[in-house]
A and B are shown apart, each in its own frame.
Chain A
Amino acid sequence: MNQEMTCQCEEVSEEEKLGLIEEVIEEYKGKEGSLIQVLHMVQGIYGYLPVHIQQFIALKLDKPLSEVSGVVSFYSLFSTKPRGKHTINVCLGTACYVRGGKKIVDRLKEILDVNVGDTTGDNMFTLEVMRCMGACGLAPAMSIDDKVFKQVNPDKLTEILDLYN
Chain B
Amino acid sequence: MIKLKINNKTIEVEEGMTILEAAKTKGILIPNLCYLHNVHECGSCRICVVEVEGNKNLQASCITKAQDGMVIHTHSEEVRKTRKILYELMISDHNKDCLSCSRNQSCELQELSELLGIDQQRYEGKRSKDVVESSNPSVERDMSKCILCRRCVTMCNEIQGVGVINSQNRGFDTLVGPTEGFDMMDMNCTFCGQCTTVCPVGALKEKDSIKDVWKAIEDPSKRVVVQTAPAVRAALGEEFGYPAGTLVTGKMAGALRELGFDDVFDTNFAADLTIIEEGNELLKRLNAALGGKKATLPMITSCSPGWIKYIEHTFPNELDHLSTCKSPHMMLGAITKSFYAKKIGVDPKDFYVVSVMPCTAKKYEITREEMAKDVDAVLTTRELAKMIKDAGIDFCNLEDSTFDNPLGLSSGAADIFGTTGGVMEAALRTVYEVVTGEELPFDGLHVEPIMGFDGIKAAEITITHTVPEWSILKGVTLKIAVASGLSNAQKLVKEIHEGTSPYHFIEIMCCPNGCISGGGQPRPTTDEIRLKRMEAIYREDDEKTLRKSHENPFITKLYEEFLGEPLGHKSHELLHTSYVKRGKFNELL
Chain A residues proximal to chain B, CB less than 8 Å: 51, 54-55, 58-59, 63-70, 73-75
Binding site for A on B (CB under 8 A): 157, 162-170, 177-182, 187, 584-585
**Distance, CA A70 to CA B182, complexed state (A):** 13
B163 touching A67, Cβ below 8 Å: yes
What residues on B are CB-neighbors of A55 within 8 Å?
A: 585
Task: Give B496 Cβ to nearest chain A Cβ, in Å.
Answer: 17
Q: Is the CB of A64 within 8 A of B168?
A: no
Whether B168 pairs with A69 at a CB distance below 8 angstroms is yes
Within 8 Å by CB of A74, from B162, B169, B187, lies: B169
Query: A66 to B165, Cβ gap below 8 A?
Result: yes
Question: A55-B585, A69-B179 are contacts. A64–B157 as well, Cβ < 8 Å?
Answer: yes
Quick one: given A51-B179, A51-B181, are A65 and B584 in contact (CB under 8 Å)? yes
**Is the Cβ of B584 less than 8 Å from the Cβ of A73?**
no
- Can you list 25 A-B pairs, Cβ within 8 angstroms, ordered by A? A51-B179, A55-B585, A63-B163, A64-B157, A64-B162, A64-B163, A64-B166, A65-B179, A65-B182, A65-B187, A65-B584, A65-B585, A66-B163, A66-B166, A66-B178, A66-B179, A66-B187, A67-B157, A67-B163, A69-B179, A69-B180, A70-B166, A70-B168, A73-B170, A74-B167
- Extra contacts, 13 of them, besides A65-B187, A69-B180, A70-B166 (Cβ < 8 A), are A51-B181, A64-B157, A64-B162, A64-B164, A65-B584, A66-B163, A66-B164, A66-B165, A66-B177, A67-B163, A73-B169, A73-B170, A74-B170
**Bound: A73/B166 CA distance, A:** 11
Residues in B neighbouring A59, C-beta threshold 8 A:
584
A67-B166 contact given A51-B179, A54-B179, A59-B584, CB 8 Å threshold: yes
Q: Kindly list chain A residues whose C-beta atoms are within 8 Å of the C-beta of B585.
A: 55, 65
Leading 7 A-B pairs by shortest Cβ distance: A64-B163, A69-B179, A66-B166, A70-B166, A73-B169, A74-B170, A73-B168
Which chain A residue shows the least CB distance to B169? A73
Contact of B584 among A58, A67, A70 (CB under 8 A): A58
Q: By the criterion CB–CB under 8 Å, are B167 and A70 in contact?
A: yes
Residues of the A chain whose Cβ atoms lie less than 8 Å from the Cβ of B165: 66
For residue A51, which residues in chain B have a CB less than 8 angstroms away from its CB? 179, 181
Complex contacts, A65 vs chain B, CB 8 Å: 163, 178-179, 182, 187, 584-585
Which residues of chain A are near B167, meaning CB under 8 Å? Answer: 70, 74
